[in-house]
Structure 1
Amino acid sequence: MAKFQLQRTPFLVPTTDGKTIAEHFGLASNGQAQLSLAHMKAPAGWSEPAQCPEFDEYTFIISGKKQFEIEGEVVVLSAGESIKIDKGTRVRYSNPFSENCEYLSICTPAFSPDQVHRETE
Protein backbone atom coordinates (compact mmCIF):
# COMPACT_ATOMS: atom_id res chain seq x y z
CA MET A 1 0.00 0.00 0.00
CA ALA A 2 1.31 3.46 -0.93
CA LYS A 3 2.43 5.73 1.91
CA PHE A 4 1.78 8.89 -0.07
CA GLN A 5 -0.73 10.59 -2.35
CA LEU A 6 0.59 12.40 -5.40
CA GLN A 7 -1.58 15.14 -6.90
CA ARG A 8 -0.52 16.27 -10.38
CA THR A 9 -3.90 17.53 -11.59
CA PRO A 10 -5.79 19.61 -9.01
CA PHE A 11 -9.53 20.17 -9.18
CA LEU A 12 -10.27 23.63 -10.66
CA VAL A 13 -13.11 25.09 -8.61
CA PRO A 14 -15.55 27.06 -10.78
CA THR A 15 -15.77 30.73 -9.76
CA THR A 16 -17.54 33.80 -11.12
CA ASP A 17 -15.41 36.52 -9.50
CA GLY A 18 -12.10 36.14 -11.37
CA LYS A 19 -10.34 34.25 -8.56
CA THR A 20 -8.77 30.93 -9.52
CA ILE A 21 -8.84 28.03 -7.08
CA ALA A 22 -6.88 24.84 -7.76
CA GLU A 23 -7.65 22.38 -4.96
CA HIS A 24 -4.90 19.76 -4.61
CA PHE A 25 -6.37 17.95 -1.62
CA GLY A 26 -9.82 18.23 -0.07
CA LEU A 27 -13.45 17.36 -0.54
CA ALA A 28 -13.71 18.55 -4.17
CA SER A 29 -10.45 16.97 -5.40
CA ASN A 30 -10.13 13.64 -3.62
CA GLY A 31 -12.91 13.47 -1.03
CA GLN A 32 -10.55 14.10 1.89
CA ALA A 33 -12.50 15.69 4.76
CA GLN A 34 -9.72 16.33 7.30
CA LEU A 35 -7.83 19.01 5.36
CA SER A 36 -7.90 20.94 2.11
CA LEU A 37 -4.95 22.49 0.27
CA ALA A 38 -5.57 24.96 -2.53
CA HIS A 39 -3.39 27.15 -4.75
CA MET A 40 -5.26 30.39 -5.31
CA LYS A 41 -4.92 33.56 -7.36
CA ALA A 42 -6.93 36.68 -6.55
CA PRO A 43 -6.91 39.36 -9.25
CA ALA A 44 -6.28 43.02 -8.46
CA GLY A 45 -9.47 44.63 -7.16
CA TRP A 46 -11.04 41.31 -6.09
CA SER A 47 -13.16 40.97 -2.96
CA GLU A 48 -15.81 38.67 -1.52
CA PRO A 49 -18.46 39.02 1.20
CA ALA A 50 -17.56 38.48 4.84
CA GLN A 51 -17.89 34.95 6.17
CA CYS A 52 -17.81 33.03 9.43
CA PRO A 53 -16.48 29.57 8.47
CA GLU A 54 -16.62 26.33 10.45
CA PHE A 55 -12.95 25.56 9.71
CA ASP A 56 -9.53 26.98 10.60
CA GLU A 57 -7.84 28.58 7.59
CA TYR A 58 -4.11 29.04 7.10
CA THR A 59 -2.95 31.35 4.30
CA PHE A 60 0.59 31.73 2.92
CA ILE A 61 1.22 34.57 0.44
CA ILE A 62 3.41 33.60 -2.52
CA SER A 63 3.29 36.94 -4.36
CA GLY A 64 1.40 40.21 -4.17
CA LYS A 65 -0.66 41.29 -1.16
CA LYS A 66 -3.96 40.22 0.36
CA GLN A 67 -6.18 42.09 2.79
CA PHE A 68 -8.00 40.44 5.69
CA GLU A 69 -10.73 42.20 7.69
CA ILE A 70 -10.85 40.10 10.86
CA GLU A 71 -13.54 40.99 13.40
CA GLY A 72 -13.19 44.64 12.29
CA GLU A 73 -9.37 44.74 12.26
CA VAL A 74 -7.59 45.17 8.90
CA VAL A 75 -4.47 43.05 8.31
CA VAL A 76 -2.44 43.12 5.08
CA LEU A 77 -0.05 40.29 4.23
CA SER A 78 2.73 40.38 1.63
CA ALA A 79 4.82 37.68 -0.05
CA GLY A 80 6.42 35.30 2.45
CA GLU A 81 3.94 36.07 5.25
CA SER A 82 1.24 33.80 6.65
CA ILE A 83 -1.76 33.85 8.96
CA LYS A 84 -4.09 31.40 10.73
CA ILE A 85 -7.70 32.42 11.21
CA ASP A 86 -9.65 30.34 13.72
CA LYS A 87 -12.99 28.80 12.82
CA GLY A 88 -15.97 30.87 13.90
CA THR A 89 -14.13 34.15 13.24
CA ARG A 90 -15.83 36.73 11.01
CA VAL A 91 -13.45 37.51 8.17
CA ARG A 92 -13.59 39.27 4.80
CA TYR A 93 -10.93 38.57 2.18
CA SER A 94 -9.97 41.03 -0.55
CA ASN A 95 -7.23 42.23 -2.87
CA PRO A 96 -7.80 45.99 -3.19
CA PHE A 97 -4.30 46.41 -4.58
CA SER A 98 -3.06 46.98 -8.14
CA GLU A 99 -1.27 43.63 -8.48
CA ASN A 100 -2.58 40.07 -8.44
CA CYS A 101 -2.11 37.96 -5.31
CA GLU A 102 -1.04 34.33 -5.39
CA TYR A 103 -1.33 32.26 -2.23
CA LEU A 104 -1.85 28.86 -0.63
CA SER A 105 -4.84 28.10 1.57
CA ILE A 106 -5.06 25.20 3.99
CA CYS A 107 -8.35 24.51 5.79
CA THR A 108 -8.93 22.11 8.69
CA PRO A 109 -11.31 20.41 8.40
CA ALA A 110 -11.46 20.62 4.61
CA PHE A 111 -13.16 23.55 2.89
CA SER A 112 -16.82 22.95 2.17
CA PRO A 113 -19.18 25.55 0.64
CA ASP A 114 -21.89 24.74 3.19
CA GLN A 115 -19.48 25.52 6.07
CA VAL A 116 -18.35 28.98 4.86
CA HIS A 117 -21.45 30.97 5.85
CA ARG A 118 -20.83 33.93 3.53
CA GLU A 119 -22.88 37.02 4.20
CA THR A 120 -24.95 38.54 1.43
CA GLU A 121 -23.93 42.01 0.32
Structure 2
Amino acid sequence: MKKYFIQKSPFVVPTTDGKLIEEHHGLTTDNKNISIAHMIAPPGWSEPFQTPEFDEYTYIIKGKKQFIIEEEIVVLETGQSIKIEKNTRIQYSNPFDEPCEYLAICLPAFNMESVHREE
Protein backbone atom coordinates (compact mmCIF):
# COMPACT_ATOMS: atom_id res chain seq x y z
CA MET A 1 0.00 0.00 0.00
CA LYS A 2 1.39 3.40 -1.03
CA LYS A 3 1.92 5.99 1.65
CA TYR A 4 1.21 8.93 -0.65
CA PHE A 5 -1.51 10.22 -2.93
CA ILE A 6 -0.88 12.29 -6.05
CA GLN A 7 -3.80 14.56 -6.90
CA LYS A 8 -4.11 14.59 -10.68
CA SER A 9 -7.66 15.84 -10.97
CA PRO A 10 -8.72 18.24 -8.22
CA PHE A 11 -12.40 18.73 -7.47
CA VAL A 12 -13.68 21.87 -9.21
CA VAL A 13 -16.14 23.45 -6.81
CA PRO A 14 -19.21 24.78 -8.64
CA THR A 15 -19.56 28.55 -8.19
CA THR A 16 -21.90 31.25 -9.47
CA ASP A 17 -19.56 34.23 -8.97
CA GLY A 18 -16.89 33.51 -11.61
CA LYS A 19 -14.32 32.29 -9.08
CA LEU A 20 -12.35 29.15 -9.92
CA ILE A 21 -11.87 26.80 -6.95
CA GLU A 22 -9.86 23.62 -7.45
CA GLU A 23 -9.73 21.64 -4.20
CA HIS A 24 -6.67 19.38 -4.27
CA HIS A 25 -7.07 18.00 -0.75
CA GLY A 26 -9.90 18.39 1.73
CA LEU A 27 -13.37 17.02 2.32
CA THR A 28 -13.65 16.01 -1.35
CA THR A 29 -10.68 13.67 -0.84
CA ASP A 30 -11.94 12.47 2.57
CA ASN A 31 -9.46 14.64 4.47
CA LYS A 32 -11.03 16.47 7.42
CA ASN A 33 -7.70 17.72 8.80
CA ILE A 34 -6.65 20.09 6.01
CA SER A 35 -7.88 21.56 2.77
CA ILE A 36 -5.62 22.88 0.02
CA ALA A 37 -7.20 24.76 -2.86
CA HIS A 38 -5.94 26.64 -5.91
CA MET A 39 -8.16 29.62 -6.66
CA ILE A 40 -8.55 32.40 -9.19
CA ALA A 41 -10.77 35.32 -8.16
CA PRO A 42 -11.90 37.51 -11.06
CA PRO A 43 -11.82 41.33 -10.89
CA GLY A 44 -14.75 42.65 -8.87
CA TRP A 45 -15.29 39.38 -6.96
CA SER A 46 -16.19 39.37 -3.26
CA GLU A 47 -17.60 37.04 -0.62
CA PRO A 48 -19.84 37.91 2.32
CA PHE A 49 -18.30 38.41 5.74
CA GLN A 50 -17.65 35.16 7.60
CA THR A 51 -16.25 33.91 10.91
CA PRO A 52 -14.67 30.49 10.21
CA GLU A 53 -13.94 27.80 12.79
CA PHE A 54 -10.61 27.07 11.06
CA ASP A 55 -7.26 28.79 10.54
CA GLU A 56 -6.76 29.91 6.95
CA TYR A 57 -3.46 30.50 5.20
CA THR A 58 -3.41 32.36 1.87
CA TYR A 59 -0.46 32.66 -0.54
CA ILE A 60 -0.80 35.05 -3.48
CA ILE A 61 0.63 33.59 -6.70
CA LYS A 62 -0.38 36.49 -8.95
CA GLY A 63 -2.37 39.70 -8.54
CA LYS A 64 -3.78 41.26 -5.37
CA LYS A 65 -6.45 40.24 -2.87
CA GLN A 66 -8.18 42.39 -0.29
CA PHE A 67 -9.05 41.21 3.22
CA ILE A 68 -11.20 43.07 5.72
CA ILE A 69 -10.11 41.56 9.02
CA GLU A 70 -12.12 42.73 12.02
CA GLU A 71 -12.69 46.08 10.20
CA GLU A 72 -9.01 46.53 9.14
CA ILE A 73 -8.33 46.53 5.38
CA VAL A 74 -5.29 44.47 4.36
CA VAL A 75 -4.12 44.04 0.74
CA LEU A 76 -1.79 41.19 -0.20
CA GLU A 77 0.22 41.20 -3.42
CA THR A 78 2.13 38.61 -5.45
CA GLY A 79 4.52 36.59 -3.28
CA GLN A 80 2.94 37.57 0.04
CA SER A 81 1.06 35.32 2.44
CA ILE A 82 -1.10 35.62 5.53
CA LYS A 83 -2.45 33.44 8.33
CA ILE A 84 -5.88 34.33 9.67
CA GLU A 85 -6.78 32.70 12.96
CA LYS A 86 -10.04 30.82 13.42
CA ASN A 87 -13.01 32.70 14.86
CA THR A 88 -11.91 35.94 13.17
CA ARG A 89 -14.53 37.96 11.27
CA ILE A 90 -13.25 38.45 7.72
CA GLN A 91 -14.31 39.37 4.21
CA TYR A 92 -12.36 38.41 1.08
CA SER A 93 -12.51 40.34 -2.20
CA ASN A 94 -10.73 41.33 -5.38
CA PRO A 95 -11.74 44.94 -6.07
CA PHE A 96 -8.82 45.29 -8.50
CA ASP A 97 -8.62 45.24 -12.31
CA GLU A 98 -6.72 41.94 -12.66
CA PRO A 99 -7.56 38.37 -11.57
CA CYS A 100 -5.98 37.16 -8.33
CA GLU A 101 -4.49 33.65 -8.32
CA TYR A 102 -3.77 32.15 -4.91
CA LEU A 103 -3.53 29.06 -2.73
CA ALA A 104 -5.74 28.67 0.34
CA ILE A 105 -4.98 26.18 3.10
CA CYS A 106 -7.48 25.60 5.90
CA LEU A 107 -6.82 23.75 9.16
CA PRO A 108 -9.04 21.82 9.79
CA ALA A 109 -10.53 21.43 6.32
CA PHE A 110 -12.94 24.02 4.93
CA ASN A 111 -16.61 23.15 5.04
CA MET A 112 -19.75 25.23 4.64
CA GLU A 113 -21.05 24.37 8.12
CA SER A 114 -17.99 25.82 9.88
CA VAL A 115 -17.38 28.95 7.75
CA HIS A 116 -20.39 30.87 9.15
CA ARG A 117 -21.03 33.23 6.24
CA GLU A 118 -23.25 36.21 6.92
CA GLU A 119 -26.32 36.88 4.77
TM-score normalised over the length of structure 1: 0.97
| SS of residue paired to 2:38 | strand
Q: Distance in 2 between matches of 1:54 and 1:95?
A: 23
Alpha-carbon distance in structure 2 between the residues aligned to 1:4 and 1:31 = 14
Q: Which residue of 2 aligns with 1:95?
A: 94
1:55 corresponds in structure 2 to 54
Could you say which residue in structure 2 is the equivalent of 1:113? 112
For the residue of structure 1 that corresponds to 2:24, the secondary structure is strand
**AA of the residue aligned to 1:33:** K
SS in 2 for 1:114: helix
Secondary structure of the corresponding residue to residue 113 of structure 2: helix
Q: Sequence identity, in percent? A: 64
2:11 is the alignment partner of 1:5: no
Q: 5+ residue gaps in structure 1? A: none
- Residue in 2 that maps onto 1:23: 23
2:36 counterpart of 1:33: no
RMSD value, Cα: 0.5
Please identify runs of 4+ aligned residues in structure 1 that moved more than 6 A: none
Q: How many residues align?
A: 119
CA positional deviation for 1:89 = 0.1
Match of 1:75 in 2: 74
Q: SS state of the match for residue 74, structure 1?
A: strand
1:5 Cα offset (Å): 1.1
Displacement of 1:4 after TM fit? 1.2
2:47 counterpart of 1:43: no
What is the distance in 2 between the residues matched to 1:92 and 1:2? 40
Structure 2: runs of 5+ lacking an equivalent: none
**CA shift at 1:2, angstroms?**
1.2
- Residues 1:65 and 2:64 aligned together: yes
Q: What is the deviation of 1:3? A: 1.9
Quote how far apart the aligned CAs of 1:109 are. 0.2
